[in-house]
Amino acid sequence: MPASEPHPPTKTAESAWDRGGLTLTLFALAALVASTVGRTIFPAMFGAATGLAAWIDRTQHVASLLSQLVAAGGVAFVLRAVATTFTQNSLGIGYRMLVIPAGTAASVLTMAATGRALEPELGCSLTIAALTAAAASAAVAMLSPTTRALGLALAISALAGAFDLGGIRLAQSALENASASAYKLASVLVTVGFVLEAVLVVLAFGWLSRRRGGRALLLTFLTFVLVMIWGLALRGAAQSGAPAWQIVIARAVTSWLRAPAPLVPPAARLMLEAASTVATITALIVSRRAPLAALLALCLLARGATDIPLPALLLLVAALAVPASARLAFPPSGAPGMRRLAPTPTR
């Protein structure tokens, strides 16, 4: 083969990137629509106004279909990634010992969650599996400057998810035992998670705006515009005779403000939700030129809700896509400058 001819392993890397029959950008886009319709718009329509029965039925069908598709696509990707990880010695035994059991367990629990609500213990196990895989993959992504931002995003997502999970579980126990002090401690844990999520969104803004200083100002402006629109909807929904669309938007926005509440003003929580939404959409737009942006979008979609099966699956998909994304970030095998994902043992 002539030296100037392109190296064929690039197609292998691309096929690994598209593992599961669906590109991660399309998968993240479907996850965004499913989360928006299923977790916000559909629940907000109940009781908002009369005459919405037909719209509620249609929205329910769309939300159910999209959620099932995202869950099936995510599980297919995870199982294929687990099988591939098992054969890749370059990833290291420690990484494989963490990721393979976590990915397998999370896939089984996600499939179980499609038919019924998981018991609290099983739901907690699913969250822990996703957070474990995210933490392990963060270390792999840190090996290259090209994927270092993704590694930081995964590490922050795992840490924030751990604090959120601890706060939610502690708040549930505090309510059962009528313990005010335990509930305050739960709020502190969730506040730490909130701060970490804010750091994640700031990191996303910085990564999306690198070498484009004006984009950071544009993203900030769009965030303020979205907050103003939500604020107007919340104010209008409080008035008598408010239109149905304002009530639906207001309920959808307030559904993001989950309990226990962090020790920050509600306006700060809305600002974080708006900034995360803007960053997610922007990441999907730029992912055609920067495939890593799709994984960043998955981290943002999972933010603050890894105790729910679908967001936990999204974080797991982002974590298990790290080896494939690292290959795309590196030159083909054997090309100058190529690094391994783990040090080669000396003989």
Average pLDDT over residues 258-287: 89
Q: Which of 96, 67, 141, 142 is nearest to 313 (CA)?
A: 67
CA–CA dist 170, 153 (Å, integer): 25
Give the Cβ contact number of residue 343 at 10 Å.
10
- 204-261 pLDDT, tens digit per residue, is 999 988 877 678 889 999 999 998 888 888 887 777 777 777 777 777 777 777 778 8
Quote the pLDDT of residue 324.
Answer: 64
List CB contacts of 12: < 8 A, sequence separation 6 or more: none
Backbone region of residue 178 per phi and psi (left: phi > 0; alpha: psi in -120 to 50; beta: other values):
left
Least confident range from 47-51, 69-73, 246-250, 319-323: namely 47-51
Residue type, 110: T
Quote the pLDDT of residue 221.
Answer: 92
Which two three-digit tokens encode residue 58? 């249609």
The DSSP code for 89 is: G
Positive or negative: CA dihedral 217, 218, 219, 225: positive
Domain ranges of the chain: 20-329
CA–CA dist 275, 262 (Å, integer): 17
> How much is the mean pLDDT over the chain?
79
Which two three-digit tokens encode residue 137? 């993959």
Q: Model confidence at 115, in pLDDT bands (50, 70, 90)? A: low
Q: Which of 130, 139, 185, 186 is nearest to 158 (CA)?
A: 130
- pTM for the full model? 0.81
Q: Model confidence at 317, in pLDDT bands (50, 70, 90)? A: very high
Q: Which of 252, 209, 208, 203 is nearest to 229 (CA)?
A: 252
**What are the DSSP calls for 152-187, one per residue?**
HHHHHHHHHHHHHHHHHHHHHHHHHHT-HHHHHHHH
Q: Model confidence at 330, in pLDDT bands (50, 70, 90)? A: very low
Quote the pLDDT of residue 50.
Answer: 57
For residue 10, pLDDT over 90 is answered with: no
Cα–Cα distance list, 47 to 43, 54, 82, 247, 248 (Å)? 9, 13, 44, 10, 9
Q: Model confidence at 37, in pLDDT bands (50, 70, 90)? A: confident
First CA to last CA across the chain, in angstroms? 31
% of the chain at pLDDT higher than 70: 82
For residue 338, pLDDT over 70 is answered with: no
Average pLDDT over residues 134-150: 87
For residue 333, pLDDT over 60 is answered with: no
CA–CA dist 179, 63 (Å, integer): 37
Give the Cβ contact number of residue 15 at 10 Å.
10
